[in-house]
Amino acid sequence: MRITKYTILVGTLLIALQACNNDDDGGQEIAPPRDRAEQQIAEAAILKSYLETHFFDTIPNPANPDYNIVIFDTIAGDNKDRQPISESTLLQSKIVKFEEVDYTLYLINFNKGAESTRKPTFADSTLVTYSGELLYDLSPDDDNKNDGKIFDSTVTPIWMDLVRVVPGFRQALTEFSGASSASENPDGTVSFSDDYGNLTAIMPSGLGYYSSGTTSIPAYSPLIFTMQLYKINESDHDADGIPSYMEDLDNDQIVIDNDDNTDGDTLANYADRDDDGDGTLTKDEITSIDANNDGFISSDEITYYDDDGDGIQNHLDKDDRSIKN
């Protein structure tokens, strides 16, 4: 069985996955963002055409022999008989609602991941390798078809906080799971079984950086991410006993917005140790315990209280401050 060996790095998100800042505008007026619904319609047609006129190949990765590089090319000339991506049995799609617009996220499922491992939630931490590229080459005259497309990649697994990545990256990974086993080697590296999640996500700009742009990622660019998912850690960013994904009060799978900030301070609940700002820490207003010792806190392992019976749980109610632990 092939084994992946790497030193695990705890990393922060690089340019490919952080919110991009616009380049210096040189004093010029910045155009307002385009209407999302209209842009979605235009890009849906672009992606449909791309899937119908392009095929993909996998080639060995010289920097990492344990997974392949995915190459996309046009069905033409010597490749005129190749199967389009749209007809591949590996292609799946997922509707993702973001900013009140329904987007189609396309997924090429090379390997779903081990059935024995848990899929990440939209707020978990994931150990991944990935490559991010543009739909089309910025330097089409270059013989290397990927030189002008790839804007970021890593062949060494790094931890990525799904709260902070672009929506398409986040929503793609929640459909996959990690490897079934891992072991530490004498040299300090870690080996993973080869049943890890392996996928490519093709997304409209509305699930990427949309109107933000840099020299390597133009505004309104559809994106392609190829990802390998090795391991998941359930995130509790503020260590209050409530997993971060459970602090999504408005159920939009985004925990950083104002709708998830009970006390209206500078921190959304997932990062706030005192969600209601009553002076009693959230962890002291609930009872949370990993009863089955599986490393994950499920909803039935948390006890919430409502001392004054007003239908609002103590940790979200300034009127209830009693310490329960």
Q: Are 51 and 106 in contact (CB under 8 A)?
A: yes
Mean pLDDT over all residues of the chain? Answer: 89
Q: Is the dihedral of CA 215, 221, 226, 230 positive or negative?
A: positive
Mark whether 228 and 259 lie in a shared domain. no
Domain count, the chain: 2
Strands of 176-298 (E only): list them.
182-184, 190-192, 197-203, 223-233, 287-288
Mark whether 159 and 218 lie in a shared domain. yes
- pTM for the whole structure: 0.88
Q: Are 35 and 206 in contact (CB under 8 A)?
A: no
Report residue 51: phi and psi, to 5°. -65, -30
Mark whether 228 and 267 lie in a shared domain. no
Tens of pLDDT along 11-70? 434 444 444 444 455 555 678 999 999 999 999 999 999 999 999 999 988 887 778 899
Mark whether 216 and 248 lie in a shared domain. no
Mark whether 94 and 12 lie in a shared domain. yes
Tens of pLDDT along 218-250? 999 999 999 999 999 999 999 999 999 999 999
Q: Domain containing 219 — which CATH number? A: 3.10.50.40
Query: Which domain-ending residue is among 233, 262, 295?
Result: 233
The contacts of residue 186 (CB under 8 Å, 6+ apart) are: none
Query: Which domain-ending residue is among 207, 233, 259?
Result: 233
Mark whether 111 and 45 lie in a shared domain. yes
SS3 state of residue 182:
strand
The contacts of residue 151 (CB under 8 Å, 6+ apart) are: 15, 16, 132, 133, 134, 216, 217
Mark whether 277 and 206 lie in a shared domain. no
Domain interval for residue 287: 236-325
